[in-house]
Amino acid sequence: MKSYTAKQIAEILQQDDARMNLRTVRYYTQIGIVPPLELVGNKRVYTDKHIHYFRAIITLTRTGETLASIQEKLKALSLEEVEKVGQQIHIYNPSRVLENETLLINEDVAITLSPRISAELKQKVIDSVSEVLRGEIH
């Protein structure tokens, strides 16, 4: 099990979000939005598990969730599910959101397309996804 100090965690997370600083890491730990620190010897440390939680928090805050709602959602998830949320961090990169176009196909499916694709290809993608959702393609 790899262990980290709060400062090391902040440095790792700043690669994902420049706003993640030592103060934020400590605050999230204090309010209990991340699991309690692990005891290694006589020291309390962060582990890779905490990195997954912090990345999930960053991802969910980028979607507009409040810290209170994020805390409730994370409590209900397994570590594997938290990790999956954290892996989506780059989908919600603010610069990508501004460049790309996100289209809501139905209440359960949204697709994000680059502006570099042609209007014709964009329409084919939309039509194909819509057909699959209607069960027209086998």
Q: How confident is the model over 11-23, as a mean pLDDT?
A: 93
For the beta carbon of residue 20, count every other beta carbon within 10 angstroms: 21
Least Cα distance to 59 among 20, 11, 105 occurs for: 20
At residue 113, the pLDDT reads 81
28 in Cβ contact with 54 (< 8 Å): yes
Tokens of 19: 């706003």
For the beta carbon of residue 58, count every other beta carbon within 10 angstroms: 20
Tokens of 73: 């959602």
pLDDT digits (tens, 9 = 90+) for 18-53: 899 999 999 999 999 999 999 988 999 999 999 999
pLDDT digits (tens, 9 = 90+) for 76-113: 999 999 999 999 887 776 666 556 677 788 888 888 78
